[in-house]
């Protein structure tokens, strides 16, 4: 055996000891900084589609699912009875469809292709309206849809960064240039009087529906990938494509038509960064659920940003991911995946 020279023995053992000590410190830091994560396990309710899903939407309470698959079949399912409520085939659409969304009362479903939008009655199957959507830029296409509680107001996000607002009851159409990139998230806020919109330009805006006036905005470094608003309109979660995920507490000052944000919490995790595709606050606002760009879901403490639990959705393909979340009447949350799988998740063992 070859030993180090005598005059280098002390240096050799010093370097070895320092290396072992630093390794131990790093190990203790990462393993001792938090409690072990609880495993989230979902109960599969139903797989509604045997082919990949292009887009899907859950009702607010998770009772209804709207699913558009790659064969251009749009199906409305009752998640309680697991019965098919209505279905439309490709012949009902003017062009290939990419987007689907339900109204707040579940009576209307909207679908859209690149520049055609259609509204259908979920109960009778009747096509209520259909028209071609145009932007300020003739090349602009539809990138996001949102319906209000009754389906009488439609919000259409476009790839040019503008948003079209159509009020069917008043036969009014407005269009606001609110972003510099593709609109990718739209959420109703403040009892339907304002809308949160986000874009690939990294900007999150809260704006008044009637005027388009911006009440508040926040610039992220990278494109925004996830947006969530709590039930009481007091917390908003914004996540960009790299490690910038924030939970903001806010209040809307009605007299000044402005929103005030007074505290923020950053999500706390060990990885260099995570990308989230979808998110939802649980009913009491104390916890947040996020979905990765793949099949993982995470549960967070809103006050501290601490990660509490992890789980995996039921996957049937390499690209499985969560398309939407909802809260049910029992305080659980429901996920709907790109494989058309509905799962119910309980947090009773975590919270």
For residue range 160-210, list pLDDT tens digits in order: 999 999 999 999 999 999 999 999 999 998 677 899 999 999 999 999 999
Instruction: Give CA–CA dist 236/230, Å, rounded.
Output: 6
Give the angle 133-136-138 at the CA atoms, nearest 5°. Answer: 70
SS3 state of residue 22: helix
Q: What is the pLDDT of residue 262?
A: 58
Long-range CB contacts for residues 256-264, cutoff 8 Å, separation at least 24: 257/208, 257/213, 257/215, 258/215, 258/216, 259/206, 259/215, 259/216, 260/216, 261/216, 261/218
Contact by Cβ (8 Å): 267, 305:
yes
String of DSSP letters for 194-230? EEEEEETTSEEEEEETTT--EEEEEE-SS-EEEEEE-
Q: Which residues are registered as beta bridge partners of 345?
A: 42, 333
Please list the ranges in the chain whose pLDDT falls under 50.
3, 24-34, 255-256
Q: What is the pLDDT of residue 335?
A: 97
Q: What is the pLDDT of residue 12?
A: 53
SS3 state of residue 6: helix
**Closest by Cα among 319, 278, 282, 281 to 297:** 278
Contact by Cβ (8 Å): 85, 64:
yes
Q: What is the pLDDT of residue 21?
A: 53
Contact by Cβ (8 Å): 135, 109:
no
């Amino acid at each position: 055996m070859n030993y180090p020279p005598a005059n280098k023995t002390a240096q050799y053992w010093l370097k070895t000891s320092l290396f072992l000590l630093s390794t131990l410190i790093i190990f203790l830091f990462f393993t001792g900084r938090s409690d072990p994560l609880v495993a989230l396990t979902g109960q599969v309710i139903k797989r509604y589609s045997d082919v990949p899903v292009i887009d899907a939407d859950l009702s607010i309470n998770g009772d209804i699912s709207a699913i558009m698959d790659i064969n251009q079949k749009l199906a409305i399912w009752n998640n309680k009875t697991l019965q098919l409520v209505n279905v439309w085939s490709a012949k009902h659409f003017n062009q290939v469809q990419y987007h689907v969304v339900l109204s707040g009362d579940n009576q209307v479903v909207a679908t859209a292709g690149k520049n055609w939008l259609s509204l259908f009655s979920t109960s009778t199957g009747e096509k209520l309206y259909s028209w071609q959507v145009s932007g300020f830029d003739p090349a602009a296409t539809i990138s996001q849809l949102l319906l209000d509680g009754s389906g009488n107001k439609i919000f259409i996000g476009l790839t040019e960064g503008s948003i079209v607002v159509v009020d069917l009851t008043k036969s009014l159409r407005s269009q606001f240039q609110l972003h510099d990139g593709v609109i990718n998230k739209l959420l109703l806020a403040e009892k339907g009087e304002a809308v949160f919109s986000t874009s690939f330009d990294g900007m999150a805006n809260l704006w008044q529906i009637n005027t388009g006036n911006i009440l508040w905005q926040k610039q992220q470094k990278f494109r925004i990938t996830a947006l969530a608003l709590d039930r009481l309109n007091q917390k908003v979660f914004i996540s960009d494509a790299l490690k910038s995920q924030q939970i903001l507490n806010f209040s809307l000052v009605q007299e000044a038509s402005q929103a005030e944000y007074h505290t923020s919490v950053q999500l706390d995790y060990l990885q260099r960064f995570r990308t989230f595709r979808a998110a939802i606050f649980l009913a009491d606002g104390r916890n947040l659920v996020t979905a990765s760009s793949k099949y993982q879901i995470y549960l967070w403490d809103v006050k501290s940003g601490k990660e509490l639990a992890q789980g995996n959705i039921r996957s049937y393909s390499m690209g499985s991911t969560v398309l939407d979340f909802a809260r049910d009447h029992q305080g659980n949350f429901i996920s709907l995946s790109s494989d058309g799988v509905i799962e119910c998740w309980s947090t009773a063992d975590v919270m």
